[in-house]
Structure formats: C-alpha cells, structure tokens
C-alpha cells in the first residue's frame, strides 16, 4: 500500500551540508524500510516554487519534493488544529492539510535542534512542527538525533511534551537517556543517518596521504549568541596543528562543510578558512572552494590519511568511510556519535580552554595520528553494519 511520507527538520539545498547529509541518509533508510517512490520535504522560508530532487538509494530512485512555507503558515495551521480539536473539522490550510493527509511523518530537527542550547526561538520553532503532527493524531517519528540538553524550564517542558507523544524516538547518543528514563519515554539508540549517505565521485585532483582539516566558521568567528567567547584558542589550535603536519611534509587540504561559495552565510566555513590561511600566510595548501554537495564532500574526505573536523557531519563523512578522524568538539554530541564508531577517545573538547591547553590539544592530535592505523582497523570493523530498518 502506498504511503504518504513527510519529512521535517531536514534540507537538500541548505549551506549546512550536514543537514543535507541527514536528509539523504534518511531517504536511504526510509526507502529501505518502505516501498516508496516519493517523499515530501517541508521547509520554512519565503515561499518559492517547489523543488524536486532525485535521490539514488540502494532500493531505487526516490523523488523528494521540497515544499516551502512562510512561517505565518504555522499560525494558519494552529488555527486549523483548534477547529479540528473542537469540532473535528478537517484542516484546510496548505500545511495542516499536508500533515493531515500524511501516513507517516519523520523529523530530524536538523540533527541537534530539539534543544534549548541554541536559544528559546530555535526550540519553539522545531516544537511547532511536532506539535502540529501530534495534535492531528499523526504517527510522528524522531529519526536518530541528539535530544537536549534542556537547560531551561521552558525548553524542558516543550521537549518532554512532544517526546511523550511520539510514535518512535531514535537517539544517536546517550546524553538524554536520564531525562527519557525519568519521564518513562521509550527510545532506540542507533547511529546517525548520515553514515548511510553514499559518496559521489568528482573530477578533482586529491593529494595522496593528505591531512584534511575542516574549519568551523561558528567556532572560528566565535560570536554565536549562546556559544560566544567559548573558542578563544581555536585559531591557535589550528595554527599549531598545521605547523606540525607541515614539518612532517604533509599536504594540508582545508574543507568547509557549512558554506556557500557564491553567497557566503553567517559563520561560513569557507570565509573562516580563507581568513585563517591569509592571516597566517600559510603556503602550499589546498582549499576546497567550490560549492560541492554533501556527497561530493564525503568523497573528498574519504581520501584523507587523517581527518580533523569541527563540524560533526564532516567528521561523520570521515568516520563512515573508515578514515581516522579527530573531532575538535564544541558539543557533547561529538562524543556520543564517535562512540558509535568505537572512537570516542579521538574527540577533543576545545571550548572554554585557556592558552596553556593549546599544546595539550596538539599533542593529543599527534598521538591520534601516530595510532591512525589502529583507529582505521577499529572503524573498518564498526562500519560492518546493516542499514537501519524502522518499521
């Protein structure tokens, strides 16, 4: 029987390639679990024409239709829900009608946005998607993601309200498990869906045995509201790391993962990379400066001798291709994800460090590099996994 499937909290045209990787991985998993040819992807921004994508999965081609709604459409949908609850009146707004006619709804909340770590506005925004679905008595599943942290009373109340009403909840780390157990919420712990995204070959010269480094624009610029002034030593860590590998004669490849090469975004990784290289007059490096998609970036990363990343999904690109990977972490989500690959010890937390810790971090990176063959073997074993079936 044909299923009408709707995705929330994902994207295919976002400058955040991690969000793209999640959507592609989710499509792979849903196509493996259900006999489908089409998925509707909901995005909230200024209205534009629907975009259509074809994603090649192991189960065949799937058309993803990206529909765009203004945020005011959420208000219309809320009005519809009131009428539905009071008078059992069928929803009429375009968004609520789509949800009402969906058989299955899946939400990824951009991987880690079902949390108040990014501020009240962000969790309220993602709460609304879920609230519409559960209020219309639809089967809503949270695909593998980081839940929380909920550091405010407001965030925790919103979070628990939705979590108790899900059809299924998948988590990719163990940090919220105490909260879930405390509230008698069932969950399944499994790997991040980006691991199922296949790399796409590109025509690019990739230096052999290169050290590849992802520079996180959010950390480099260090002015994101809720994380501001936590990464004062990040630039120094990068500089000392580059110096070390260049003394070994290693070629450095810098890879952005949240960026737009034509129209730069706030906290753009490519802007950060260019500033870092120019400010420090670093020579003989390669900068990936074209607008590659998530699958193409994964292909590039798969050729690294060692990958050092600060965007978590750039790291997953390496880990899932058995590339020894260092996570320069700003969030606990790194350790939870790396542990699923057996590599929790290659995560280094770099927020709120003073300058005396820079050398300690670089020494840890050296240690990981010297054990890269051991880590590669661990990854090869851990990557022998069956694709997730969510039925």
Residues 188 and 299 in one domain: no
Rounded CA separation 11/17 (Å):
9
Q: Are strands 285-287 and 306-309 parallel, antiparallel or unpaired?
A: unpaired
**Would you call 344 exposed, middle or buried from its count of C-beta atoms within 10 A (0-12, 13-18, 19+)?**
middle
Q: Of the candidates 166, 196, 226, which is a domain's last residue?
A: 196
The residue segments making up the domain with residue 315 are 211-382
Residues 188 and 136 in one domain: yes
CATH of the domain at 91: 3.40.50
Residues 222 and 175 in one domain: no
Q: Look at residue 121 in the predicted model and tell me its pLDDT.
A: 85
Rounded CA separation 323/379 (Å):
8
Q: What distance separates the 2 farthest-apart alpha carbons in the chain?
A: 73
Residues 85 and 221 in one domain: no
Domain presence at residue 13: yes
141 strand-pairing partners: 106, 168
Q: Look at residue 226 in the predicted model and tell me its pLDDT.
A: 63
Q: Quote the mean pLDDT of the chain.
A: 94
Give every residue of the chain whose pLDDT is below 50, as ranges. Answer: none
CB atoms within 10 A of CB 20: 23
Structure tokens at 272: 């950060």
Q: Are 14 and 43 in contact (CB under 8 A)?
A: no
Number of domains comprising the chain: 2
Residues 191 and 225 in one domain: no
Q: How far is CA 42 from CA 17, 107, 110, 217, in A?
A: 17, 10, 12, 27
Q: Look at residue 1 in the predicted model and tell me its pLDDT.
A: 57
CA torsion sign for 336, 341, 345, 351 is: negative
Residues 52 and 188 in one domain: yes
């Amino acid at each position: 029987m044909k299923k009408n499937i709707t995705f929330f909290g994902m994207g295919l045209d976002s400058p955040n390639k991690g969000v793209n990787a999640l959507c592609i991985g989710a499509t792979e998993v849903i196509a493996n679990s259900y006999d489908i040819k089409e998925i509707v992807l909901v995005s909230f921004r200024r209205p534009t024409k629907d975009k259509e994508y074809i994603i090649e999965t192991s189960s065949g081609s799937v058309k993803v239709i990206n529909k765009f709604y203004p945020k005011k459409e959420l208000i219309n949908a809320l009005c519809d829900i009131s009428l539905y609850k009071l008078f059992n009146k069928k929803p009429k707004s375009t968004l609520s009608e789509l949800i009402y006619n969906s058989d299955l709804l899946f939400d990824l909340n951009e991987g880690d946005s079902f949390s108040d770590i990014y501020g009240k506005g962000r969790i309220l925004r993602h709460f609304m998607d879920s609230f519409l679905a559960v209020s219309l008595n639809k089967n809503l599943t949270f695909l593998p993601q980081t839940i929380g942290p909920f550091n405010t009373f407001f965030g925790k109340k919103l979070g628990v309200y939705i979590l108790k009403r899900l059809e299924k909840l998948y988590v990719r780390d163990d940090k919220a498990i105490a909260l879930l157990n405390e509230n008698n919420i069932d969950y399944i712990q499994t790997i991040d869906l980006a691991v199922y995204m296949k790399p796409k070959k590109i025509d690019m010269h990739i230096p052999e045995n290169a050290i590849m480094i992802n520079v996180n624009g959010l950390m480099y610029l260090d002015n994101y509201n809720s994380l501001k002034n936590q990464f004062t030593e990040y630039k120094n860590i990068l500089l000392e790391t580059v110096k070390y590998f260049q003394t070994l004669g290693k070629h450095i490849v810098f890879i952005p993962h949240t960026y737009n090469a034509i129209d730069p975004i706030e906290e753009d990784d490519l802007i950060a990379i260019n500033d870092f290289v120019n400010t420090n007059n670093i020579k003989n490096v390669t900068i990936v400066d074209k607008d590659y998609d998530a699958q193409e970036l994964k292909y590039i990363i798969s050729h690294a001798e060692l990958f050092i990343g600060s965007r978590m999904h750039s790291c997953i690109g390496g880990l899932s291709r058995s590339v020894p990977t260092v996570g320069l972490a700003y969030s606990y989500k790194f350790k939870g994800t790396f542990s699923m690959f057996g590599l929790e010890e290659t995560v280094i937390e770099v927020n709120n460090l003073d300058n005396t810790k820079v050398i300690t971090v670089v020494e840890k990176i050296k240690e990981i590099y010297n054990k890269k063959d051991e880590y590669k073997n661990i990854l090869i074993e851990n990557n022998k996994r069956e694709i997730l079936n969510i039925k």
